[in-house]
């Protein structure tokens, strides 16, 4: 283990439930080893401006159950320039920061890679409700977002059933369909539309609703990933082609909030602890990954080049379950 005296931790990009639990894990692991931990506020903006707050074991009391991030998060276009990176590295030098844990998505990891190139040790912790980070099987926030969506859809189902309606539910996920696919299986949707899988609207949506009606199905739930396109158009097409009263619900940012589930709290605690130990081992330019029920770290460049597919077997599950 190398002699690290001070580390920084920041959250960047879109927020995700469990970011606070990860901050807590970093601060507590640092405290356990007698390392000073500085919380850097508002993502890379705080690094550029020297906007930091000292975090000890007690200053992260009570945050494990809170959504959002106590350090705030932000996009920071200036950090995408060589001048911005230099300012960030200068701040680290000035504050004596030996290494930084950056909690966020792929964009956040690109920032960490650039900072590592200028001599500051960095490690990324994956956090995004989209679960679209290729290098890891799991990202903090995904489970909570799935459960938040599910809770809302279960309520929608009650009223759809009473009125014998169809519900189109747009879930988040950016350009990926992981959230939509998980939610569709968990809520028992009749169809799921995801950007990774081309679909035939007539066959996969309209005919399924028609067949369902013939088979005495009273109501329908169609899950649409935001990356698929315009959910208003999709809703109107269902009305035109089937004549069924169809309502659109866009779940939006409620999926990003709320108290993290046990899974997110545990994963965040393990990722945060692992990240500090990786910095203590003298490593840099790494990201923490969940793989095969274990945690490992890989090179950021390698992580950024990886591709992540939607699991084919899960897509099949959703199809078979929706007959
Ligand atoms: P999510 O997509 O889940 O919201 P993210 O971490 O991918 O999370 P981005 O907005 O892509 O979110 O990136 C967050 C921040 O990381 C940017 O605002 C910027 O400060 C920094 N960043 C992104 N790309 C780069 C880059 N190429 N070089 C340096 N910094 C970058």
DSSP H stretches of helix in the chain? 19-32, 44-49, 82-95, 106-117, 142-163, 178-187, 201, 207-214, 231-242, 262-280, 300-305, 312-321
Q: What does the pLDDT read at residue 1?
A: 52
Q: What is the pLDDT along the chain (323 residues), one digit of tens a residue?
A: 558 999 999 999 999 999 999 999 999 999 999 999 999 999 999 999 999 999 999 999 999 999 999 999 999 999 999 999 999 999 999 999 999 999 999 999 999 999 999 999 999 999 999 999 999 999 999 999 999 999 999 999 999 999 999 999 999 999 999 999 999 999 999 999 999 999 999 999 999 999 999 988 999 999 999 999 999 999 999 999 999 999 999 999 999 999 999 999 999 999 999 999 999 999 999 999 999 999 999 999 999 999 999 999 999 999 999 98
Q: Please name the residue whose Cα sits nearest to atom 11 of ligand 1.
A: 107
- Extract the tokens encoding 96: 């004596």
CB distance 136 to ligand 1 below 6 Å: no
Q: What is the pLDDT of residues 103-155, one digit of tens each?
A: 999 999 999 999 999 999 999 999 999 999 999 999 999 999 999 999 999 99
- Atom of ligand 1 lying closest to residue 130 CA: 3
Exposed/middle/buried for 155, CB within 10 Å: 0-12, 13-18, 19+? exposed
Task: Give the Å distances, CA to CA, from 311 to 146, 179, 182.
Answer: 16, 12, 10
Sole residue written with tokens 């690094």: 47
Nearest to 191, CA basis, from 64, 320, 312: 320
Distance 135 CA to ligand 1 centre (A): 16
pTM: 0.97
CB distance 73 to ligand 1 below 6 Å: no
User: Which is the catalytic residue, given 106, 130, 143, 204?
Assistant: 130
Q: Which of 111, 136, 178, 227 to mutate to test the pocket of ligand 1 (most atoms within 8 A of CB)?
A: 111
Cα pseudo-dihedral 97, 99, 102, 103, rounded to 10: -100
Distance 300 CA to ligand 1 centre (A): 14
Distance 220 CA to ligand 1 centre (A): 38
**CB of 184 within 8 A of CB of 171?**
no
263/93 Cα distance (integer angstroms): 36
Distance 194 CA to ligand 1 centre (A): 24
Looking at the DSSP assignment, which residues form a beta bridge with residue 101? 9, 123
70/283 Cα distance (integer angstroms): 27
200 is catalytic: no
CB distance 26 to ligand 1 below 6 Å: no
Q: What is the pLDDT of residues 73-82, one digit of tens each?
A: 999 999 999 9
CB distance 106 to ligand 1 below 6 Å: yes
- Atom of ligand 1 lying closest to residue 78 CA: 20
CB distance 111 to ligand 1 below 6 Å: yes
- Atom of ligand 1 lying closest to residue 128 CA: 3
CB distance 117 to ligand 1 below 6 Å: no
Residue 102 host element (H or E): strand 99-104
b/e map 232-269, b = 16+ CB within 10 Å: eebbebbeeebebebebbebeeebbbbebbebbbebbb
DSSP letters, 297-312, are EEEHHHHHH---PPPH
51/169 Cα distance (integer angstroms): 40
Q: Strand 286-291 relative to strand 121-126: parallel, antiparallel, unpaired?
A: parallel
CB distance 105 to ligand 1 below 6 Å: yes
- Extract the tokens encoding 111: 């920032």
CB distance 297 to ligand 1 below 6 Å: no
**CB of 254 within 8 A of CB of 148?**
yes
Query: For residue 24, which phi and psi values (nearest 5 degrees)?
Result: -60, -45
Distance 111 CA to ligand 1 centre (A): 7
Distance 283 CA to ligand 1 centre (A): 22
């Amino acid at each position: 283990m190398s002699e690290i005296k001070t580390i920084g931790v920041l959250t960047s990009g879109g927020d995700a439930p469990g970011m606070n639990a990860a901050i807590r894990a970093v601060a507590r692991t640092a405290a356990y080893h007698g390392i000073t931990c500085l919380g850097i506020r508002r993502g890379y903006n705080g690094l550029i401006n020297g906007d930091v707050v000292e975090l000890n074991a007690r200053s992260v009391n009570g945050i494990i159950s809170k959504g959002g991030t106590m350090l705030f998060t932000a996009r920071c276009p200036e950090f995408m320039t060589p001048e911005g990176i230099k300012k960030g590295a200068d701040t680290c030098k000035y504050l004596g920061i030996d290494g930084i844990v950056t909690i966020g998505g792929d964009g956040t990891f690109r920032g960490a890679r650039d900072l590592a190139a200028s001599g500051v040790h960095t490690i990324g912790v994956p956090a995004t409700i989209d679960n679209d980070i290729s290098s890891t099987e799991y990202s903090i926030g995904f489970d909570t977002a799935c459960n938040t969506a599910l809770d809302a859809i279960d309520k929608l189902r009650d009223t759809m059933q009473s009125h014998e309606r169809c519900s189109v539910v747009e879930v988040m996920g950016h350009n990926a369909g992981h959230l939509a696919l998980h939610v569709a299986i968990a809520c028992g949707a009749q169809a799921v539309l995801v950007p990774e899988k081309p679909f035939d609207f007539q066959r996969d949506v309209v005919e399924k609703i028609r067949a369902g009606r013939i088979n005495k199905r009273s109501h329908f739930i169609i899950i649409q990933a935001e990356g698929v396109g315009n959910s208003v158009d999709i809703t109107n097409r269902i009305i035109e082609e089937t004549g069924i009263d169809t309502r659109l619900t866009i779940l939006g940012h409620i999926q990003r909030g709320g108290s993290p589930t046990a899974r997110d709290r545990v994963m965040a605690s393990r990722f945060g602890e692992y990240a500090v130990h990786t910095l203590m081992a003298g490593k840099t330019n790494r990201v923490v990954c969940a793989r095969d029920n274990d945690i490992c770290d890989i090179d950021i460049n390698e992580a950024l080049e990886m591709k992540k597919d939607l699991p084919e077997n899960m897509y099949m599950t959703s199809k078979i379950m929706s007959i």
